A and B are shown apart, each in its own frame.
Chain A
Amino acid sequence: MQEDQIRAAMLRKSRAAKIEQRGRAISFACIALIVLVVIAIFYFVASKGLATFYHNGVNVWEFLSKKSWSPSTIGPHGKPEVGALPMIVGSFSVTFLAAVVATPFAIGAALFMTEIASNWGAKILQPVIDLLVGIPSVVYGFIGLSVVVPAIRNVFGGTGFGILAGTFVLFVMILPTVTSMTVDAIHAVPSYYRSASAALGATRWQTTSRVVLRAAVPGILTGIVFGMARAFGEALAVQMVIGNAAMLPKNLISPASTLTSVLTSGIGNTVMGSLENNALWSLALVLLLMSLVFNLVIRWIGGRGALK
């Protein structure tokens, strides 16, 4: 009799074990929900975006390489014009130019915060970078519209709208991202690397450029790609300064458009299920796939590891 009671007490789950089980169930449910949401988003965008090619019979290659974009009107050869090349070129050019301009500034600021004035430099620049992150993108777009565009118009002529204005706005927007990730990468370099370099008689710049930056390359590249992913997906600020002309830009100051700017200005004016709508979803699919590529690149760089 007593033995049975002890046996039952031993086999019964303890309170802690029950809490553990419940917590685990809740965690798994949350993860499952997130995975489900991601899969649902992918499925929705893919089914809508691929409908352009399956349902409306648009050639994938023509979609990616044709230059004229007017899905609502019938072109000369009796088919709607859905060539997304101008938007793809616009998106990639603002992204790459913004990254090219932002990288030297980000590395310079990070070096200032870590190597040159590590005590008070960080105290000044860290709040500056936090504030730059906090400014809403519509404010960047508004300042771009009222300051950058007129400035470009005065200096280079034309309307002022275009890839150059988009580059300037995106440069300020991705600068904090790239800078803070570069700072993290430089902080992760062991201090004995610097000590060893200094002991060999190297100056601060020799140490910085040949040892610290070299060791931090994977982290810095990850930061740059993060910044590019942000620039690629930015819609509002770019839309306000790029001119929104769906044609292949001839130069940096002629009006252009990006995938995101065409989406934001067009998606409210189309009917669900029509070709115009499906074509916009195809642009969204291109955006989604590109952000996937950026993620894979970040993982690939991270996996390469540091200096060996």
Chain B
Amino acid sequence: MNAKRVDKIATVVIDIIAGIIVLILASLLGYILVRGLPHVSWHFLTSPAKASRRVVALACSSSTPFTCCYWRC
């Protein structure tokens, strides 16, 4: 394999790596926006937190019991 060929292959590999990194960020942001944006509303941002009993039970049984204090049990 001659040097020019190796150069071409290396360039393509580096291009692919840069593309993957851009893709990672795009998918991170896209995932957050697609999953989160529909739920953001004026009501969601301004109304006080309300937790159903089921959610409180789940929060209390998770690995960090002191999060329980943040919920109004």
Contact = CB atoms under 8 A, between A and B. Distances in A.
Interface in B5-51: 6-7, 10-11, 13-15, 17-18, 20-22, 24-25, 28-29, 31-32
A203 B14 contact: no
Contacts of B14: 108, 111-112, 116
A116 B9 CA distance: 13
B7 A205 contact: yes
Interface residues of A, number: 36
Contacts of B66: 268-269
A75 interface: no
A231 B32 CA distance: 23
Q: Chain B interface residue count: which class?
A: 20 to 34
B21 A109 contact: yes
Given A116-B14, A265-B63, A105 B21 contact: yes
A286 interface: no
Contact of A112 (B6, B18, B25): B18
Nearest to A203: B7
Nearest to B10: A205
B4 interface: yes
A268 B18 contact: no
**Interface residues of B, dominant DSSP:** helix
Interface in A162-214: 172, 175, 179, 202-206, 208-209
B3 interface: yes
A35 interface: no
Contacts of A116: 11, 14-15
Contacts of A175: 21
Interface stretch (A8-16, A59-67, A125-133, A274-282): A125-133
Contacts of B11: 116, 204-205
A277 to B, nearest CB: 14
Contact of B22 (A124, A147, A179, A268): A124
A203 B18 contact: no
A203 B7 CA distance: 7
A105 B15 CA distance: 11
Nearest to B16: A108
Interface of B: 3-4, 6-7, 10-11, 13-15, 17-18, 20-22, 24-25, 28-29, 31-32, 63-66
| For the complex of A and B, 3 pairs with smallest distance between CB atoms | A108-B17, A268-B66, A203-B7
Given A125-B18, A143-B28, A269-B65, 16 more contacts: A108-B18, A109-B17, A109-B18, A111-B14, A112-B17, A113-B18, A124-B22, A129-B21, A143-B31, A172-B28, A175-B21, A179-B21, A202-B3, A203-B4, A203-B7, A206-B7
